[in-house]
Chains A and B, each alone.
Chain A
């Protein structure tokens, strides 16, 4: 059973290895002289005014929060969907209540304007 997961681990290592190998080749083969202008952040020709890690729109944060809620919901739905026949009507009603609660929350977000982007 767990032996089936060993190739996955090896594949992850191979994939990371390919990435590391490519990066190493780039640093070894790639040539060029470094100077201050080349190493400065790209800013359309002038000196950057300030550090670029400044405030950004709170809506990105909202999207991240909403994503966590819905992604957890999907994580609950997956095992339910696979065992739909085994859990039967009881499972269906339980998941219906769970989904209904989330849909109410989703409608609230919608009405509050958390999904508006203009």
Chain B
């Protein structure tokens, strides 16, 4: 066995350094992408279980122990279903639309710092990159609705597109507040700016922005209670009404990957990312594992916010479309603009916790 490893090591040593780098980076990327896809699979199971229990049902419990095989059964079912391309649709756009939805949903993970020392691309424009990619996602929706050439799909895509862009503004403004407090666009630096324990998280000084950001995130992913784009009783399934089999599965995958992404971003911007809740709590003893920053803290925070997504879905009735637009344009945007003005002045005067990058 050791001989085998030595042999492989000797081969590896002969590979030029540039290629070694490429191989390492690509395998890291594949590991992260596969983790995201597996997480999506179990998130669908999690959603059905959570909503099941909240409605006094058991949820999926037939496939495997506790129904844990359900996501894989679903994937297999969707894979062997026929992919239908409607006769009147625009074939090329119809097929390209799911790809436009899934690519940004996965590629945004390139800049997410999963722990103190692991991030695939440690770039200084990380936040800008994430924001740009989440904006590309709307093209998948609009193109899918247009290419299908069905009234329901077109209406769903229009609603969805208008809703996503409306809430993206509120989201962007909320992020400006985070940037002022952190003084960096690098997601790792934003997390480090919140080091020092629970009370240093941006949650407290930026509480309104946290609420605006998370609610906008729910609206942006078209989840309940903002899911008029696929209001079953009005426009069947919205923009993906004609998609079947794997093409539908890809939209589904992108939607859930976006839910997890929004939960991750909320954890990083307002809840200290990988930082420990117990950081600086002396009664746990020096070097106690609960005080260490680690990936597991980030995972716990992500899981909590994913749970909140499903909790909201089980709790609230669906908003009306004019109410959604009113909330986005007339409530969230004024709140965030006012908050930016206040925070800008206070940050300049070095008042309160908003001392900016000098702090």
Q: Which residues of A contact B (CB under 8 A)?
A: 4-8, 10-12, 14-16, 18-20, 22-23, 25-27, 29-32, 34, 36, 38-43, 48, 51-53, 56-57, 59-60, 63-64, 66-67, 70-71, 74, 77-78, 81-82, 84-85, 88-89, 92, 95-96, 99, 103, 106, 110, 115-118
Q: Which of B63-71, B98-106, B198-206, B285-293 contacts A (4 or more CB under 8 A)?
A: B98-106
Q: Does the CB pair A30–B83 fall under 8 Å?
A: yes
- Given the complex of chains A and B, what is the CA–CA distance between A75 and B69 in angstroms? 45
State how many angstroms separate the Cβ of B319 from the closest Cβ of chain A: 11
Q: Which of B79, B111, B344, B357 contacts A92 (CB 8 A)?
A: B344
Which among B262-270, B305-313, B323-331 touches the partner chain?
B323-331
Q: Is A4 in contact with B330, judged by CB distance below 8 angstroms? A: no
Task: Report the separation of the CA atoms of residues A56 and B128 in the bound assembly, to the nearest whole angstrom.
Answer: 33
Tell me which residues across on chain B come within 8 A of A95, comparing CB atoms: 344
Would you mind naming 26 contact pairs between A and B with Cβ atoms under 8 Å apart? A4-B122, A7-B121, A8-B121, A10-B22, A11-B33, A11-B121, A14-B33, A15-B105, A15-B106, A18-B37, A22-B250, A23-B250, A26-B79, A30-B81, A30-B245, A32-B84, A51-B88, A60-B162, A63-B166, A63-B325, A71-B165, A77-B176, A78-B179, A78-B185, A84-B348, A115-B329
Does B321 lie within 8 Å of A117, measured CB to CB? yes
Contact B86 A40 (CB under 8 A): yes
Interface of A is mostly: helix
In the complex, how many angstroms separate the beta carbon of B260 from the nearest chain A beta carbon?
A: 14
Secondary structure dominating the interface of B? helix
Select one of B151, B177, B184 contacting A52, CB under 8 A. Answer: B151
Q: Is the CB of B325 within 8 A of A117?
A: yes
Contact B99–A16 (Cβ < 8 Å): yes
**Does the CB pair B79–A70 fall under 8 Å?**
no
Contacts of A48 in B (CB 8 A): 150-151
